Amino acid sequence: MSEFMGKNGFQWFVGVVEDRQDPKTLGRLRVRCLGYHTEDLIKLPTSDLPWSHVMNPITSATVSGIGQSPLGAVEGSWVVGFFQDGGDAQQPIIIGTLPGVPSTLPTQGNNKGFQDEVNANYPKYTETDVNRLAVNSKVASGPHSDVEDNPHMSLTIRRADRTTSIGRADFDSVDIRRANLTPATLEGDDGTNFSEPTTPYNAEYPHNHVYESEGGHIREIDDTPSHERIHERHASGSGYEIGPDGTKVTRVKGDNYDLTTGDHFAHIKGNHSTTVDGGVRVFVNADASTGSNYTIEVGNNSNVNVKVNKGNINLVTSEGDINLKSGKSIHMDAAQGIYMAAQTLSAEIDGNWVEKVTGTNTKTGSKINLN
């Protein structure tokens, strides 16, 4: 090929995106270029600007939907590129965006280009175009010099939404009477409240790499020395953050569904605390297969404590037995009565049977055999 793009140099341009509603959905943009196009929208309306193709990075395949598409420029973005048709300036290609510090905000109805005249959405403020989470400017001096003077809204919301003083299951020690034996005390297990950790955000420019979408979805990869973090946040407030020590905090603002088509394994090296403000339901063996049991094993020197503040503990089996076996003794202590109703009641005792009744001992039956 004797002729190819760039052989005789490139015809460069700098301009402002005014339209991204590409009818061919190729991610093309309409750009008003400095030195090529007038700012007068009456003389040259946005609809008459040529469509600019956007050069994608090599990390994006840009074929069959593979890669990022479309790229992130919006109306009001400053871009740089070249004309592949040279001086004709009808086939622009954008190679990148240019951040800056806007001096004015867009206005509608003045028929001036080089801005988002149609929607007046961008820029939103007259400060650096770099994300506030990445800049993290601090108060210059004084007792609050370590406080952000212009925090990102998502950071303010996250701090305000932080949940504190969450109650944990608490089992108070209790004395239990034992027939013909001295009373015993059941060991308590105090459940102190816990709180959601504060965000470890303490970014320093230029170490925090931030992506924020138009809708407010955020991704941070923060390489600030000693404050490294990963943070992803949906605009609704759902998201997660991993702090410098590896602590992960996940927040779901709506419902949470966890579906596993195979087996599910979890290993917790420390303690596990779950607080549910509503109810809890566990359905095991929903498909009625054989051998799918609900098994709980507690290691040595530990107790299984079940406490109901006000209500009943119900154990029901439709078909099957309820079996209790203790390596030592079984003690029952009721403030009122113990009632048993059965077709047959049998007791097999290898040692002694001792009854101590302070009131009346009544036995009623059609026939009573004493052997």
CB 32 within 8 A of CB 39: yes
Cα gap 86→265, rounded to integer Å: 61
Residue ranges per structural domain of the chain = 1-129, 133-163+197-251
pLDDT, one tens digit per residue, over 16-52 is: 999 999 999 999 999 999 999 999 999 999 999 999 9
What 3-state class would DSSP assign to 16?
strand
**Who contacts 367 (Cβ-Cβ below 8 Å, separation ≥6)?**
none
Residue-by-residue DSSP string for 229-255: EEEEE-TTS-EEEE-TTS-EEEE-SS-
pLDDT, one tens digit per residue, over 210-239 is: 999 999 999 999 999 999 999 999 999 999
* pLDDT at residue 141 greater than cutoff 60: no
Average pLDDT over residues 149-172: 90
User: Quick one: DSSP state of residue 47?
Assistant: G
pLDDT, one tens digit per residue, over 163-210 is: 999 988 888 888 888 877 788 888 888 888 999 999 999 999 999 999
To which H or E segment does residue 83 belong?
Answer: strand 78-83
CATH no. of 1-129: 2.40.50.260
What percentage of residues in the chain have a pLDDT greater than 90? 68
What is the CATH architecture of 133-163+197-251? Answer: Roll (3.10)
With cut-offs at 50, 70 and 90, classify the pLDDT of residue 149: confident
**Who contacts 239 (Cβ-Cβ below 8 Å, separation ≥6)?**
218, 231, 232, 233, 250, 251
pLDDT, one tens digit per residue, over 328-354 is: 989 999 999 999 999 998 989 899 888
CB 224 within 8 A of CB 202: yes
pLDDT, one tens digit per residue, over 249-305 is: 999 999 999 999 999 999 999 999 999 999 999 999 888 888 789 999 999 988 999
